[in-house]
Amino acid sequence: MKNAIWMIASVIMLITACSSGTDAGQQKVTETKKTNVIIPEMTKVELKTSLGDIVVGLYKETPKHHDNFVKLVKEGYYNGVLFHRVINDFMIQTGDGNSKTAKPGQMLGTGDPGYTVEAEFVYPKFFHKRGALAAARTADQVNPERRSSGSQFYIVTGKVYNEQQIMQMEHQMNQMNLQSIFQAKAAANQKEIMRLRMARDTAGTEALRQRLIAETEAEAAKNPVKLTEEQRAAYTTVGGTPHLDNQYTVFGEVLEGMDVVAKIEGVATDRNDRPTEDIKIISATVIE
């Protein structure tokens, strides 16, 4: 752990100005017609697609995402949007309003209603098991609060992991957590880092780095990443994408139509992961 922190610290301390880049996080889904766990009291939405029907359930425990999704469905926002990003063993993504009029080969993924939704992580209760419905978002560098896209969402397909892979995944997730904590602390101390660098105060810079490393390790030790038994059972049987857990808001799951999701997942795509033949949501309707 110490070595990992030192590597992260060394890189960040060399950065003298804020860096940015945009990444949209998205994932995918597979076969079976119903997921193993059905959460009661969900709002059901039917997505009629050009390859078949999918019924999703929206969790009441994520009210901002629930209400926003229902609002967009009732407004007809999703009628005609394309599945613009499809990655095998990962996810299928849709919800870009610009895709309704997209030309063949046009790059998509930036369209939205003009707002974002506050993150609602109900973790570890809701996680990225196969069939999970989650909100896409831009990368941490430009979106440290991890706010969700106002309209884009993905359905997880993922893959099945063995026990050894799960252990390795936990280790990687802990490293990611260390990096996230340290980056936040470095950003909060950016002015001091800049002052020390301008003054060529190497001793002061090193002292600050040591302090941030110690604070990072102490904070990470309070809440180490450890998958629950339910997560382990899901990821070693039906599969999913565990590395996305607690990073993106999971606000629902597929109740029917995983066979349709599998069809979409298996289509040919271009170099931007857009299906070479358009697959669209013909209509979205609240059915319960």
- Whether omega before 224 lies within 30 degrees of 0, making that bond cis, reads no
* Cβ-Cβ contacts under 8 Å for 77 (sequence gap 6 or more): 97, 113, 151
The ranges assigned to domains in the chain are 2-9+164-222, 24-159+237-286
**In angstroms, rounded to a whole number, what is the distance separating the alpha carbons of residues 29 and 131?**
5
pLDDT the model gives residue 180 = 85
Q: What proportion of the chain, given as a percentage, has pLDDT over 90?
A: 77
Give the three-state DSSP class for 140: coil
Question: What digits encode the pLDDT tens for the residues 197-230?
Answer: 999 999 999 999 999 999 999 999 988 888 999 9
Q: Write out the CATH class of domain 24-159+237-286.
A: mainly beta
With contact defined as beta carbons under 8 Å apart, do 208 and 193 qualify? yes
Is the whole model's pTM more than 0.85, yes or no? no
Residue 58: closest CA among 285, 246, 250: 250
Residue 156: closest CA among 33, 255, 30, 53: 30
Of 117-121, 216-220, 225-229, 269-273, where does mean pLDDT reach its minimum?
A: 225-229
Average pLDDT of the segment spanning 108-127? 96
